[in-house]
Amino acid sequence: MDNNMNGQVVTEQQVQQPKKTNVLCVIGLVLSFLLSPVGLILSIIGVVQANKKNEEKVCGIIGIVVGVIGTIIQLIVIIFVVFAFSVFSSVGTRANIILSTACSNIDSHGDYTGDEDYEDGNVSINCSGYECTIRVDGKEFSKICNE
């Protein structure tokens, strides 16, 4: 037993040692900013371990929150990129197919033998000489056909 500065007797049971911080909680927090899904998983594991070992888990809880938010943002970005890529590539593929068909309708004199100014919904074709221009969904594509 010791006397503290106020003259009170302090026993060893009353002195609380600071809790040790769980290492996985800290690693999970750091990785939550860089690789959110990995940081989220490590933070969850760290918090579970900290509960079992009676260690400090604040870093792990913050890592879980940051990891969830970061993972959601990353998923939204991935979905947007995949959607944008599929939309733009499908329009370009459609335009190339139509342009190839239009070029096959140009005779040896450079005259277009297909429908003049073909209109089909959001698609329009105009061929002049050996060049065909197509507008698909508001985007314009051109192709010079082989002579």
pLDDT digits (tens, 9 = 90+) for 98-127: 777 777 776 666 666 665 445 555 667 777
Q: What is the pLDDT of residue 105?
A: 72
Q: Is the predicted pLDDT of residue 18 greater than 70, yes or no?
A: yes
How many residues in total does the chain contain?
147
Which range among 23-32, 48-57, 90-99 shows the weakest confidence by mean pLDDT?
90-99
Amino acid 6: pLDDT: 62
Between the CA of residue 24 and those of 38, 43, 57, 68, 108, what are the distances in Å?
11, 6, 9, 17, 73
**pTM, rounded to two decimals:** 0.55
Residue 1 gets which letter from DSSP?
-
Distance CA 122, CA 134 (A): 10
pLDDT 10s digits, 47-79 = 999 999 989 889 999 999 999 999 999 999 999
Q: Is the pLDDT of residue 3 over 60?
A: no
Residue 17, amino acid: Q
**Helix, strand or coil, per DSSP, at residue 43:** helix
Distance separating alpha carbons of residues 124 and 58, to the nearest angstrom: 62
Sign of the alpha-carbon torsion through 28, 29, 31, 36: positive
Would you state the pLDDT for residue 8?
A: 65
